Amino acid sequence: MSCAGGNAVLSLFSGAGGLDLGFRWAGYDVRVAIDKDEAATNTYQRNHPSAATHSSDLSHTRASEIARLWTEACPESAPVGVIGGPPCQAFSGGNAHPSDDDERRDLPVRYAKLLKGLNHEFSLDFFVFENVTGLLWPRHRRYYAALLEMFKEAGFRLWPVVLDAQHFGVPQRRKRLFVVGLNRRRFKQGDLKVPGQDTHSAVSTVRQAIEHLPDPMHFRRELSPDLIPYHPNHWTMVPRSPKFNSGLLRGRHVNGRSFRVLTWDQPSWTISFGHREVHVHPSGDRRLSVFEAMLLQGFPRDYELVGTLSDQIRLVSDAVPPPLAFAVARTIRRYLSGGSEG
Helix, strand or coil for residue 53?
strand
Q: How far is CA 46 from CA 41, 97, 320, in A?
A: 9, 35, 17
Paired residues of 161 in beta bridges: 178
Among 170, 168, 61, 169, CA closest to 117 = 61
Helix axes 309-318, 38-47, angle to 10 degrees: 80
Cβ pair 309, 219 in contact under 8 A = yes
Q: How far apart are CA 72 and CA 32, in angstroms?
A: 10
Catalytic residue among 33, 58, 88, 249: 88
User: How open is the CA angle 143-37-103, to the nearest 5 degrees?
Assistant: 30
Name the H helices within 202-262.
206-210, 242-246
Annotated catalytic, 3?
no
Distance CA 98, CA 105 (A): 10
36 touches 56 (CB < 8 A): yes
Best CA proximity match to 52, nearest among 22, 73, 23: 73
SS3 164: strand
Answer yes or no: are the C-beta atoms of 88 and 177 closer than 8 Å. no
Beta strands 52-55; 126-132: pairing state: unpaired
Q: How far apart are CA 149 and CA 279, in angstroms?
A: 38
Q: Which positions are annotated as active-site residues?
A: 88
